[in-house]
Structure 1
Amino acid sequence: MCSGRAGGRMGRNDGEQRTRGERVTVTTARSWWRRGDDLRAEAQAAKDAAAQAFYDLDTAQRDLEISIETISAVDDTPQARQALDGFRALVEKIDRVSGAYIATVDAHDIDRDGLDHAAASRAVSELTQAKNELVSAKKELERYKAGLAPLLGKAETQLAQLAPARERAKQSLLAASQALDAVRAAGLKADELAARLAALGPELTKLNEGAGKHGVQETVRRADQMRRTAEAVRAEAERLPEQAKEIDKRLVSLRTRVQALGTRAEGVAPVLSELRRRFSTACWQDLQHVPDQAAQAVRLAEQALAEARSARAEQRWNDATARLATVRTQMDEVDGAVSAAGERLRRLNEVSKDPSGEVEKTRFAIRDAQRLAMQGRSTPEPRHARPLDEAVARLDRAVGALQGRHPDYWAFLTETAAVRETANRVVSNIREDRAAGR
C-alpha cells in the first residue's frame, strides 16, 4: 500500500515536471515569434513612411510642373529661362532620389516568411534613409517654388486676361456681324465693311487654336486687335444710315453753294474793271487772275460734285465723302478769291474818300503802346522805344505818299496795317516782361 501511494506521488511529480517543461518550451517559442513580428511591423512602418514621403514629393512635383508650364506659356524673359533651367536640374535630383527609393523597396521583401532580424533591421535602416532623402528633396522643391512666386504671379495675371480677351473679341465680331445684317436689311450696301470683317477670319482661326500654339501674349494681342477692328466695323455700320442722310444733305447744300458762288464769280470781272478804272495798277494787279481762277475753281467743284453724286448713288460712301470734301475746298478757294476782290474795292473806296480814319486808327495803336512803355518809368526801354519811333516815322511816310496824283492806296493800307502790327507786338513784349518780373 505504501508502495502504491509512493508510486502515486511519483506519478504526479512526473506529470507536473512534464507540464512545466512544456510551458517553458511554449513560452520560449512565443517570445521569438513576438520579436520577429515586432521587427516586421517596424519595417512595414518604415516602408509606409517612405511611401508617404514619396507620394508627398510626387504631388509637390506635379504642382510645381503646373506652375512651370504656366510660366513657360507666358514668360520668355531671361529670368523665366533661368528658372526653367533650375527646374530641370531639380527634376534630375528628384528622379535620382525617387529611383533610389524604388530600388530600396524592391530590395526588401518584408512580407516573406522567415524574415530574420538582420534583414528586417537593414530594411528599416535603408527605408528610413530613403524617406529622409525624399523629405529633403521635397523641402528643396518647396524652397524653389517659393522663389518662383513673382514669376508665377505675373504669369497667372496674364493668363487671367486670356479668356476674357478671347470672349470680348468674339462678342465684338458677333456684334459687328449683326450690325452689318441690319444695314443690309435697310437697303444699304456695306461691302467695304464686310470685307474688313471677313479679313478677320484667319485671325479668328488662330485665336481658336489657342495659347498653346501661339503663346499667351500673342493670343491676347491678337484678341485685342480683333476686338478693336470689329468694334470699328460695328460703329461704322451703325453710323451708316445717318452718314447716308448727311451725305444727301451735303449734296443739296453744296450744290446750292456752287451755284451761288458761280454767280458771285461772274461779278469779279466788273469789280476788277472798276479797280482798273479808278486806281493805280499796284492796287489791283495781284487780283487780275481772280476771274479765271474763280471760274476754274467753280468748274472743278461742279465736277467733284457730280462725282460725289455718282458715288452716293453707288453707295461708295468713302468716295462720296472724299468728293464732297474736294467740293468744299474748291468753294473755299472761290469764296476767298471773290471776297478778296470785293473787299479790296470796298477798302480802297473808303480810304480814297477819307484816309483820316485809317491814319487815326494807326496813331491810336502807336500811342497806346507808347503809354504802356512809359507806365511807371521816366524813360522807356530802348528795345521798346526804338520800334515805336520807327512806327511813327513809317506812318508819316505813308501819309506823305498819298499826296501824289495817283496815290497807291493799297500800299498805304498795307503799310498802316504793318505799323499797327509793330505796335501790337511791342505791347505784347512789354506785358510778357512785366509778367516775368523783368
Structure 2
Amino acid sequence: MTTPETPAQATHALPRTLTRDLGRHDGQQVRLQGFLHARRDLGGVQFAVLRDVSGVAQCVGSGLHLPLPESSIEVTGTVKAHPKAPGGYEIQITDFRVLSAAVQASPLEIPKMEWNVNPETMLDYRYVSLRGLKERATLRVQAELVRAFHEHLNAEGFTEISTPKIVSAGAEGGANLFKLDYFGEQAYLAQSPQLYKQIMVGVFERVYEVAPVYRAEEHATSRHLNEYLSLDVEMGFIDSEEDVMALENRLLVSIMAHLKATCAAEFALLGAALPALPDFIPRIPLMEARELVHREYGHVVGGKDLDPEAERLLCQYYLERHGSDFVFVTKYPRAARPFYAYPEEGGELTRGFDLLFRGIEITSGGQRINEYEMLMDSIRTYKLNPESLAGYSEVFKYGMPPHGGFAIGAERLTARLLGIANVRYARAFPRDRNRLTP
C-alpha cells in the first residue's frame, strides 16, 4: 500500500516538466525527474545538476542529502532565469526526492568523460558511458538518420522488408562468415540481405531493409565493426546504375534536411557541421580516381581498389575543387566486385560504384545481373557453388527486371557526420574483433 510520503503518491501533484521546456515556466513551480548528473556543496548550499532525456538543469537548495551521482531523482521547485545556468534557467528547490539511489560510485565521471577517460574504458562500461550527453547525442542523430531513411523511401514508393539473418551461404562469398550450427547443419550469420532483397524486387519492385549484418573479418581498425546496422535499398526497372546513384543522392539530401531540422542541438553539442552535399554528387571512374590522386598528390595506389589514403585525398580534392563532401567512384573491375555485379561490355569492368564521404567509403552499390545465363556464368567465373545459391538463382528464370541498389553503413555515416574518429562510438554496444560485452 502506498503512503502519502511515497514518490508514487507525490507524482500526482504536478505534471512532469522536461528540462528543455523550463523557459515556458519562468516563475512557476515545476516537477523534474531524471538523473543526478553532478553535485556540489558550497557552505550549506547544494547544487544538483539534473539530467533528463532532453538536457540538464541546475537545481539549487539547502539542507539536502544528495545521493551518489547517477541516482534517479525528482526535484520540485520554482523556475528562475539565471544567465550562467545551463539553458539560462535554474530551479530553486522546494522538494527533493531520491527515486532510486545508486548503490556505488559510477566507474565513470559522466560530466568529465571526454577529457579524463580512457576510450576503451568508455566501451567497457558502455551501460554507464552511454548516459553522457555527447554519447547519447550521437545515438539520437543516428536514430533520426534512420527515421529519415524510412520516410524518404516510403515517399518514393519503396516497401520495407525483413530478410533472414541465419543463412545457408554467404551473399558475397569469401571467408568472412560467422559459422553456426543449425540443428546439425552448417549455417552462417548473414553478411548482407543482398540476395534476398534482389528476390524481393520481383515482388515489390522497390524495397529496403534496416537490419544488422555480420562480417567475420579479423581487423581491429577505427572504421570497421563485425556487426553493424545496414541500410539496404534495391530498385527494379532501372536503365543503369545512374538511376541508383540518383536515388541515393536524393535520399542523402532528404536525410541531411531532416537532420538540420531535428538535430541542430546535437550537432552544436558535438561541434559538428552538416556536409556540403550537391544535388548532383560528382562521379569519377576508379582508374581515373587512381590517376588523379597520383597526379595531384603523388600518391600511388596498388591493388584493385582505392586504399584509405587515396579515399581521403580524393574527398579532399572534390571538396576543394567542387564543393562536395561526397564523390561517387564508378566502373569497378570485376575482381573488386561480387559475382552479382553487372559487367560492362568487354567483361573487365562492372556497373558498380562506391560512395565516399569525408575520406571514407560509406556505400557500395551498382546495377545487378538480372539475366539467368549471365548470372550462372558469373557464379562459375567466381568459382562459387551453384547448388548453394540455387535458392537465389532460381528466381532469375522468371523474368527479373533490370535492377540495382546500395547499402549504407549507419555507423560509418553517423561517425563521419559527427567527426567521430572511431566507428565503435557510433554504435550503442559495438562488436569488434575483441569485444563481446557488454
Instruction: Report the TM range for the smaller structure's normalisation.
Output: under 0.3
TM-score of the aligned structures, taking structure 1 as reference length: 0.18
TM-score of the aligned structures, taking structure 2 as reference length: 0.18
Q: Which has the larger radius of gyration?
A: 1
Which structure has more helix as a fraction of its residues?
Answer: 1
